[in-house]
Amino acid sequence: MRFIEYSVESLLAESRKLASLVGAEYEPDAIAYLAKGGYLIGGTFSRFFDAPLIEMAATRSGDPAKRVVASVLQSLPKGIKRLMREIEAYARIKEKADPAVDSRSIEITGRYPVPKKAKRVLIVDDSVDTGASLLLAMGLIRQAFPNAEIRSTAINVFTASQKAVNVDWALYENVLLSTPASKDNREYEKFKALYAEALE
C-alpha cells in the first residue's frame, strides 16, 4: 500500500490542488472540517473560496488508548510505524460505517462563529477510511443547515468507504497518509503550535 508522509507545506500544496479540483465544479459558501486532521485543509479551502469555517470534532471510545500508543509510536522506526498504520487501516476498512452502532460522536466545536445561513456546505477531511466520521459529519451539517447542498472532499479515500458514503472529490485512493496532525509525524509539534496559535 502506498504511503505519503506530509509536511505542513506539502499538505497545504495538496490542499490547494484539491481546492482547485473542487472549484472547477462547485462553489461552497461554508467549509466544514473534522478536527484536527482537517484543520490545515479546511483553512486552505476557506481562503481559496473566501468562505467561513465550521470546525467539528469527532471522538471515539478508543481515543484515550490511542493517545498512549501515539507517544510510543513517535520513537519507533519509520518502517514499523508504516506497518502499524497498514494494520490499523486494514482493520478499520473492515469495519462497517454504521452510525447507529458506531462508538463515535461528533459536534460543532464553536471555534469559529457558525454562519447563520449556508446554501452549499463542503465537508473536508484528510482521509476517509470507513466513512463513519463523514456520515456523522454530514448528519450534523444537515441538522444545522437543513436546506443546504452538502458535498464532501478528502485528500484520500479508501474505496471500501464508498459503500457507506460518497466522497465527491479526492486526490488519492487507498493511500496511507501521515499528516502533520498525526502524532507520529515529524512535524506534529509544528502543527500543534499552528493549531494553538489560531485560537489566540
Q: Where are the domains of the chain?
A: 2-60+107-198
Q: Is the pLDDT of residue 111 over 60?
A: yes
Q: Which residue has the higher pLDDT, 79 or 182?
A: 182
**pLDDT score, position 78:** 67
Give the single-character DSSP code of 114: P
pLDDT tens for residues 75-87?
A: 666 666 666 666 6
Integer Cα distance of 49 and 62 in angstroms: 35
* CATH number for the domain running over 2-60+107-198: 3.40.50.2020
Peptide bond into 36 cis (omega under 30): yes
Integer Cα distance of 181 and 73 in angstroms: 14
Integer Cα distance of 25 and 61 in angstroms: 37
Q: Which helix (H) or strand (E) holds 108?
A: strand 105-108
Integer Cα distance of 134 and 152 in angstroms: 8
pTM: 0.84
**pLDDT score, position 180:** 98
At residue 158, the 3 state secondary structure works out as coil
- Cell numbers at 136, concatenated: 456523522
Q: Is the pLDDT of residue 46 over 90?
A: yes
- Cβ-based neighbour number of residue 94 at 10 Å: 9
Integer Cα distance of 174 and 172 in angstroms: 7
Q: What average pLDDT does the structure give for the chain?
A: 87
Strand partners, 55: 33
Worst-scoring range by mean pLDDT, 77-91, 107-121, 136-150? Answer: 77-91
